[in-house]
Amino acid sequence: MSTQRFFLALLCFTFAFFSCKQKDGNSTQPMENKDSKMFSKSDIIPPIAVKIPKTIVTHGDTMVDNYFWMRLSDAQKNAQKPDEQTKKVLDYLTAENAYREKMMSHTDSFQNRLFEEIKGRIKQTDMSVPYKDNGYFYITRFEEGKEYAIHSRKKGSLEAQEEILLNVNNLAEGHEYYAVGGRTVSPDNKILAYSEDTVSRRQYTIRFKDLITGKNFDDVIPVTSGGITWGNDNKTIFYTKIDATLRSFKIYRHTLGTPVKNDQLIWHEKDETFSTFIYKTKSKKYLIIGSAATLSNEYQVLEADNPTGKFRMFQPRERKLEYGIDHYGDSWYIHTNKDDAQNFKIMVTPETATTKENWKDLMPYDKNIFIEGIDLFKDHMVISERKGGITQLRIRPWSGQDEHYVQFGEESYTTGTGINPDFETDLLRLDYTSLTTPNTTYDYNVKTKKLEKLKQQEVVGSFKAEDYVSERKMVKAQDGTMIPLSIVYKKGFKKVGSQPFLLFGYGSYGASMDPYFSSVRLSLLDRGFGFAIAHIRGGQEMGRQWYEDGKYLKKKNTFTDFIDCGDYLLNEKYVAKDKLFANGGSAGGLLMGAVMNMKPEIWKGIIAAVPFVDVINTMLDESIPLTTGEFDEWGNPKDKEYYAYMKSYSPYDNVEAKAYPATLVTTGYWDSQVQYWEPAKWVAKLRELKTDKNPLLMYCNMDTGHGGASGRFRRYRETAMEYAFLLDLAGLGED
């Protein structure tokens, strides 16, 4: 399934205010929060966006969009001299930022303290657990006070001299935003290929560094997806070009040292609902070109020793046939939903007979186990599964003897395989976390069944895991479905309906929001907040049907599940009636917009990060990034049935003249996944129609895109701003 809008889902929380007062027995009105100074700043005039009506007729239905004018093209945004429309948009965004700054000015010192507090928990001088690949140990480390990573390696042993591959701090100099995309070393260990994005628009430039001389080659490849794959000849590389909508649509072959203009087009994915990519199998024997849509996959293969050869089809695409492939020995191993295996199964086929009629079951299908993927080793296979919503790792030796699961001794947690490039090893590198356990890296010996802790995220200061409590509850939804809810709070938290609480959700693209540790979150928990993740339909926490029941014409289940989780927290007295907050980002921002429209009275406040709220306009416009690839997620509004259903929940199209909770909306001017104009239009319409006096603020980062600020610490400036807003509205702010 598509997960392109997903990334930012974890843009963290915050905010707002709402108190409840019964009226006419079935509705509520917000009450002023006397503890928050924002509510007293009535003398600060909010920006009022100009209205320029644009009439849009679809299926005979007429809609008037007063704020359509806020949309700018890439050409307008990149022009050296802005035109009149661009000036008007920039003026509006600047005015919104200035308004937010004035409304929150009383929290400036508190924001600084929160930032230093969050930053202070992060170990400044730190290093990843090294992993070995092709004779070298690879390391990512950080130096005190530096924003970016240093990528290095050591030959043969960890006692060897360090070789710096990339010092990202140096590369980022002079850039407001800088991110490294792909990094991969040639098979002979002599050349590093890497990609960089200096705009935050997912348009990566590929460069090559000679690891002997330390100098870059002249070869520079612009406007790529960022991924790089080497042929086995140490001079041929493959990369993916992106089109105007940022869809990965062409695979090229480049020979190092030759003009980029002479690069060979290897594959053109012409179907606009598919994206394409390329990778090398773990066995290093094959290059794989993949094409992927929400409900279909297709692969082509070529021996990596013959990178100038012709790729051959593995299994042609079929609608609703999803599969992934990896190679070992004389066989291909296939992760697929073939034969109505909704929760997927593992099949195997001979190396020379790859079409689906040759595939044989390696493991019998079990509808109660959702298989997410596989990792292959010389003596065993590792299967990543979900059972009862919990992630698990199954060890399956090729001998068929002693199949077992890795045991952790905790009820609710998240685990997954880490970086495992080595085939011939009994050690599995894995990652582990829970709501109370910091991110931990283990080596698991599949023969002895022993876990060796290699590193646990150090939380600087007085943090003790035993000071916090996690719970897993099952919440009954409106249709009787039981929704998992992961909860964490600090010991001493009182379940008497007096505490503030933040509920987080996503619920799209089959992306599962598993329980994870966050040292940043401690700034809320230590001040009395509870926190929960609602594992609502639209993700895949409970298997593939969980996803199917939260998409297309069942999308509203996602929203009602989240509301039901909020009601549960209220009814079970985890939270005070006037202190329930909600947060979601990207498609989770759509969730926020929907629940605000559907049941505004239970939320004290909402933070909607980079929210996908203008559903109809975006999905009708195939020139916008991601649209064509997502018809199988939301439906195509050119179909009247889907249009009507989308319109019934699209946040922007359902804003009404009524009271809304306090709301903070964040966006990035260069966002390619949810364009800035969606949240900007939404805020303008909310401000026009809402009848309450609750704060409505927008933060537009003019230098970044979907993922927010780059850098190790700088991004937490925004988090501190959000937390200050949240805590102030909860009556826990500081002067």
Which one from 254, 380, 535, 706 is the annotated catalytic residue? 706
Residues whose CB falls within 8 Å of the CB of residue 170, separated by 6 or more in sequence, listed in order: none
Residues of the chain scoring pLDDT < 50: 1-32
Looking at the fold, whether 134 and 89 belong to one and the same domain comes out as no
Q: How many CB atoms lie within 10 A of CB 698?
A: 27
Phi and psi (nearest 5°) for 641?
A: -65, -45
Which one from 219, 671, 692, 728 is the annotated catalytic residue? 671
The verdict on pTM exceeding 0.95 is no
Looking at the fold, whether 358 and 374 belong to one and the same domain comes out as no
Looking at the fold, whether 30 and 79 belong to one and the same domain comes out as yes
Is position 2 within any domain?
no
Distance, in Å, from the CA atom of 270 to the CA atom of 251, rounded to the nearest integer, reads: 12
Domain count, the chain: 3
Task: Select from 332, 366, 400 the last residue of a domain.
Answer: 366
Active site residue 706: yes
Active site residue 586: yes
Task: Select from 429, 459, 489 the last residue of a domain.
Answer: 459
Sheet strands side by side (includes 191-197): 179-185, 191-197, 204-210, 216-230, 236-242, 248-255, 264-268
Residue 436 belongs to what domain range?
368-459
What pLDDT, on the 0 to 100 scale, is given for residue 364? 87
Is position 592 within any domain?
yes
Looking at the fold, whether 360 and 372 belong to one and the same domain comes out as no
Distance, in Å, from the CA atom of 564 to the CA atom of 477, rounded to the nearest integer, reads: 6
Looking at the fold, whether 81 and 224 belong to one and the same domain comes out as no
Taking the CA atoms of residue 445, residue 446, residue 447 and residue 448 in that order, the dihedral angle to the nearest 10 degrees is: 50
Amino acid making up residue 642: Y
Looking at the fold, whether 146 and 165 belong to one and the same domain comes out as yes
Distance, in Å, from the CA atom of 175 to the CA atom of 170, rounded to the nearest integer, reads: 10
Is position 677 within any domain?
yes
Looking at the fold, whether 418 and 486 belong to one and the same domain comes out as no
Secondary structure (3-state) at 300:
strand
Looking at the fold, whether 482 and 374 belong to one and the same domain comes out as no
Q: Secondary structure of the chain: what % helix, strand, coil (to 5)?
A: 20, 35, 45
What pLDDT, on the 0 to 100 scale, is given for residue 715? 84
Distance, in Å, from the CA atom of 375 to the CA atom of 384, rounded to the nearest integer, reads: 8
Tokens 């980062």 belong to which residue? 701
Distance, in Å, from the CA atom of 425 to the CA atom of 442, rounded to the nearest integer, reads: 14
Looking at the fold, whether 282 and 320 belong to one and the same domain comes out as yes
Residues whose CB falls within 8 Å of the CB of residue 272, separated by 6 or more in sequence, listed in order: 247, 622, 628, 629
Q: What is the CATH number of the domain that holds 199?
A: 2.130.10.120
**Spatial contact of 475 and 565, defined as CB atoms under 8 Å apart:** yes
Distance, in Å, from the CA atom of 115 to the CA atom of 120, rounded to the nearest integer, reads: 8
Taking the CA atoms of residue 702, residue 706, residue 711 and residue 712 in that order, the dihedral angle to the nearest 10 degrees is: 130
Q: What is the CATH number of the domain that holds 723?
A: 3.40.50.1820
Is position 735 within any domain?
no
Is position 1 within any domain?
no
Beta strand pairing call for 131-133 and 136-142: antiparallel
What pLDDT, on the 0 to 100 scale, is given for residue 4? 35
3-state secondary structure 613-657: CCHHHHHHCCCCCCCHHHHHHHCCCCCHHHHHHHHHHCCHHHCCC
Distance, in Å, from the CA atom of 51 to the CA atom of 688, rounded to the nearest integer, reads: 10
Looking at the fold, whether 271 and 298 belong to one and the same domain comes out as yes
What pLDDT, on the 0 to 100 scale, is given for residue 140? 94
Is position 734 within any domain?
no
Looking at the fold, whether 233 and 184 belong to one and the same domain comes out as yes
Task: Select from 324, 348, 366 the last residue of a domain.
Answer: 366
Looking at the fold, whether 333 and 377 belong to one and the same domain comes out as no
DSSP for 44-55? SPPP------EE
Helices (H), 162-307: 168-171
Taking the CA atoms of residue 120, residue 125, residue 131 and residue 137 in that order, the dihedral angle to the nearest 10 degrees is: 170
Sign of the Cα pseudo-torsion (126, 420, 418, 397, in order): negative
Which one from 586, 650, 672, 710 is the annotated catalytic residue? 586
Q: Could you tell me how many residues make up the chain? A: 735
Is position 405 within any domain?
yes
